[in-house]
Structure 1
């Protein structure tokens, strides 16, 4: 059974809600799922998951939430070789700010610089249009999962 780690970056819990609500769908698709609320870079490097899913909200001026700062800082500083690592990304933000989904966009860029391969398009959830992020995230997960499985073949 392929492994999936869901890396959560959250301020008020919305990204964690998306991760927890996504877990059953991912398990039904045949993944062994682990949700990481306090992710460390070792969770991606030491025993890499077959696929990673990032559920990430933006805070401040396009910044990473506090629970994710250590992971993001180490990733940006170390620039590890992530060739072969596949991932999906759900970014959450509010389009009334000019830093809309800034943390998710920044993480996406760093992951790609390190050689990781994003599966499918990045989902950007706008809190000013969709107050409950899972309303957009769960249908996206459903459509993303077949591509995620196929990317591992």
Structure 2
């Protein structure tokens, strides 16, 4: 059974809620899914999944949530080369912050690209100013992502 890891960067639980809500969609598609609240670089290198989904909220002025900072530092410091990593990204933010809207998700996307990872489909950016419940946008996006990328294996 193929594996999917959902790596979560969250401050107040919104990104974790999205991860938990989309998990059954991937299980129904035939994946063994794990949700990682404190991800490490080893989660995508040493024990690499067949597919990864990042659910990352933005804090402050476009910053990563505290639980995700060590992952990003490892990624920057070790430059592991992630040519085998296929991923999707859900970025959560608040457009009232202007230019830093979804800043953490956008920066993560750039870092992963620099390491050779392959993003499947467009990044989903969810705006807290427009969407009260982030999973209202995330669930249909994931359903579409699974269909568009032919990710269903079961």
The reply to whether TM is greater than 0.5 is: yes
Poorly superposed stretches of 4+, deviation over 6 Å: none
* Cα distance between partner residues in 2 of 1:148 and 1:87: 14
Q: How many residues get paired?
A: 151
Residue 21 of structure 2 corresponds to 21
Matched position secondary structure for 2:27:
helix
* Cα distance between partner residues in 1 of 2:36 and 2:130: 27
1:43 aligns with 2:43: yes
Question: Aligned runs of 1:10-89 on 2, under 5 Å?
Answer: 10-89=10-89
1:149 aligns with 2:147: no
* Cα distance between partner residues in 1 of 2:112 and 2:71: 12
Question: Aligned runs of 1:101-116 on 2, under 5 Å?
Answer: 101-116=102-117
Residue 92 of structure 1 corresponds to 92
What are the Cα deviations for residues 83-131 of structure 1, in whole angstroms up to 9, with x where unaligned? 1210000000000102100000000000000000000000000000001
Stretches of structure 2 lacking an aligned partner (at least 5 in a row): none
Normalised by the length of structure 1, the TM-score is 0.96
Structure-2 change in CA distance of 1:148 and 1:103 (3 Å): farther
Q: Are the aligned partners of 1:58 and 1:65 in contact in 2 as well (CA < 8 Å)?
A: yes
